[in-house]
Each structure stands twice: as structure tokens, then as C-alpha cells.
Structure 1
Amino acid sequence: MSTAAAPVRSGGLPHAEGRGTLADLLPASRTKDIALVVGGAVLTGIAAQISVPVPGSPVPVTGQTFAALLVGTALGTRRGFLSLALYALAGMAGMPWFAEGTSGYAMPSFGYILGMLLAATVVGALARRGADRSVLRTAGSMVLGSAIIYAVGVPYLALATGMTLAQAVSAGLVPFLIGDALKAALAMGALPTAWKLIGRRG
């Protein structure tokens, strides 16, 4: 019994209704992959400079987490992981593009960067299965990605500062929930809309 093949765009690229990420719609090449990985790291570094101190917390509100989740979703599992790994390694080596222009790894908030690396990989895997193509699925993906970041960042904050886990939750999670909801709302609007526009062009 024959089955219908998944629709493709010209050049063998996946159609908006098939599987794949936004980055997969570009012509495949090693140069493209390198540019996307480097570009994702740079975007995350720039977003990290959008920083607002939180009274009583060593962790500022930044655009960094939103950028990391957006990079993972748009680039997919492998490229998302490599992009955030490049961001983390370059920052550890001295590139001043962590939050507030810092670098290195001797900081209480470094656990959030490790969490972003893991979260970008997970949301990238979900995006390849269409998790960024509807509002509800995008919301679920962003919530899961944020939860992963906190699951690594908050315990790391507690260990690095000597806080109790409850204190770390109060200082390193609760103040950021409203901002995270706003970031998720932005993603819920932007990503499905991008796929709809691509589908109309196809």
C-alpha cells in the first residue's frame, strides 16, 4: 500500500506542515550551520546585556533565557546545543557576554547558563516535531524549557551562595515568573506566525 510523501518546498526543503525547524528551511550547507551556530551564540550574548538587577538576588532579569529558548527552537537539537555550548565556553574563556558584561564561571548564576544549554537542546528536539507551530504547543515548549533552566540554576545558586533551597527559590525563581510569562507570550505569537507566513508563501 502506498503512502503519501511529506510535502517539500523547492530545493528539497521541508514544507511548513512537515517536520523540521525554521533553520531547516534554509538551503543545507556546512557554512550555513556554522553561521547559525555562531549567530545564535552572539544573539544570546547580546540579549544577556538587556539586564535589570533584582533587589536581594544575585541573578538579574535578562533577555538571555528568552534568546536561548528561541535559538534552540529555531535551530533544532544539534545546532541549538552547539550554539549555547559556544556561548557558554566563550564566556568561560573570558568573552564578556554573560549578564551585565561578565565572564568566567565563578558566579552564582552560572547554573542558569548550564540550564540554558540543556533547555535549548530539549526545545530544539520538540521543535523538530512541530512544537513551535501552534500557540498551545509553543507555550508548552517554552514552559518546559524555562522549567529546565530553573531546575539546574536554582540548586546551583543554593550551592554557590550557601542559601537554603527555599531561599534560592525565593531569590532565583519567584522574581522571574512574570517576565517568563511575557517571554512565553512573545514566543507564542512569533513562532506560529512565522510558520503560517512560510506556509502561505509555499
Structure 2
Amino acid sequence: MSATAAPGRAGTVLADLLPASSAGRARLRDAALVAGGAVLTGLAAQLSVPVPGSPVPVTGQTFAALLVGSALGARRGVASLGLYAAAGAAGLPWFAGGASGWSMPSFGYILGMLLASGVVGFLARRGGDRTVLRTAGVMALGSAVIYAVGVPYLAWSAHLSSHQALTLGLRPYLLGDALKAALAMAALPAAWRLSRPSA
């Protein structure tokens, strides 16, 4: 892909619309986007509300992770969430509630976010974030990927049955996920509309 991309061209994501006049500047842009996506996810994780009886809080990080993947594309999205996960596992206190490390029961959701960022980024590069309905499907699939990793990890790490893990690690979050998806359904297609030059 060239350093600069035409707005709305097939195979582009929102981040490709940021100008870069050379391959070197494009690499610098990409590095800044990867770091910025990790920081955004870390900041969003601090919007954390405990769920009674569950070790997994409601946070903004899932929304941020899916937004980062969609806006940056699969390669940069995975790099960004990989940086977020690796730095937090190494001790940077930017997981939910200022936590860090990899031994907490909710770490599986972070791994799920990493995988989901690649999935939604792959779909966004194929136009999955350009209409409301497509964005809804992409967000739903991304959320499903997060739970597909996070819930079994929760069951394993907290010694829960499958039923308990679903009760504590999935059901309390479905309404919040629907609201986050609605935000994405408004924001991403709108960003594409704004990126098109006026006639």
C-alpha cells in the first residue's frame, strides 16, 4: 500500500488516510498509531465499574480495543493491543483499575481483545466499518472473539464451572456491549463520511 491512500478507496482503513509523504514517515506514523492505540486502551481501562460477585469489571477497554482494530487495521491493531498486553503483563499499571500482571482472572479478556483487534481490523479493511449495519456485525463478531477467549480463561483461572463462568463473565456485560456497539455504529461510518472530500 502506498504511503498515502485516497479517501474511501477499497482496502483502506481510517488510519491510512493520515498523510505520510515517504515510506520512512509512514513507518513513524504507524509507530505513533500503535503506541497511541495502546495508550487509548490503557486510559479506557480506567473507566472501570465493579460487577458484584465477578472478578471482571465493566470497562471501556473492550470498546477501545475494537475501535483501535477497526481504525488501524489488523496489523497495526494487533501490534497496538500486543503492546498494551505485554506492557501491562510486565508491570505497567494500565489494566482495569490500575492493575498489571498476567495472573489475574480477567487476563483472558485482554488476550481476546488482542485477537479481536486483528479480526475487526481485517474486516474493516474490507469495508466492514463503513455502514451502520456492517459495523454492527463487525462489533458483534469482535465481542464474541473476546468472550470466546476470556470466559474459558476465567473458568480455568478462577476454578469455575462453565455455567459459573458464563454467569459471571458474560451475561452481566451484554447490555454494555450493545451500547458500545451502538457508539461504534455511529462513530466509524461517520468518520468515513467526513473523510470524503466535498463535491
Calculate the TM-score normalised by the size of structure 2.
Answer: 0.94
Which of 106, 110, 113 is equivalent to 1:109? 106
| Residue 65 of structure 2 corresponds to residue 64 of structure 1 | no
Aligned-pair identity in percent equals 68
Matches within 5 A, 1:185-200: 185-200=182-197
Residue by residue, what CA displacement relative to the aligned partner does 1:121-153 show, whole Å, maximum 9, x if unpaired?
A: 110000000100000000000000000000000
The answer (yes or no) to whether the contact 2:65–2:117 under 8 Å persists in 1 is yes
Per the alignment, residue 21 of structure 1 pairs with 13
Once residues 198 and 99 of structure 2 are traced to their aligned partners in structure 1, the CA distance between those partners, rounded to angstroms, is 42
- Verify the 8 A CA contact 2:70 2:121 in the aligned structure 1: yes
Letter in 1 for 2:46: Q
1: distance between equivalents of 2:140 and 2:150? 15
From 128, 138, 147, the equivalent of 1:141 is: 138
Q: Per-residue displacement from partner, 1:48-106 (whole Å, max 9, x unpaired)?
A: 00000000100000000000000000000100000000000000110000000000001
The secondary structure found in structure 2 opposite 1:14 is coil
Alignment size in residue pairs = 193
Preserved CA contact (<8 Å) 2:4 2:17: no
Partner of 2:175: 178
Structure 1 outlier segments of 4+, above 2 Å:
none
SS of residue paired to 2:152: helix
* SS of the residue 2:196 aligns to: helix
Name the counterpart of 2:82.
85
Provide the alpha-carbon RMSD of the alignment. Answer: 1.4
Q: 1:88-167, aligned counterparts within 5 Å? A: 88-167=85-164
Is 1:68–1:84's contact at 8 Å kept on the other side of the alignment?
Answer: yes
Structure 1 position 201, deviation (Å): 4.0
Q: Please state how far the C-alpha of 1:19 moved relative to its aligned partner.
A: 2.4
Structure 1 residues without counterparts, runs of 5 or longer: 1-7
Partner in structure 2 of residue 39 of structure 1 = 36
Which has the larger Rg? 1
Q: Where does the alignment leave 5 or more consecutive residues of structure 2 unmatched? A: 21-25
Distance 1:190 1:116 in 2: 19
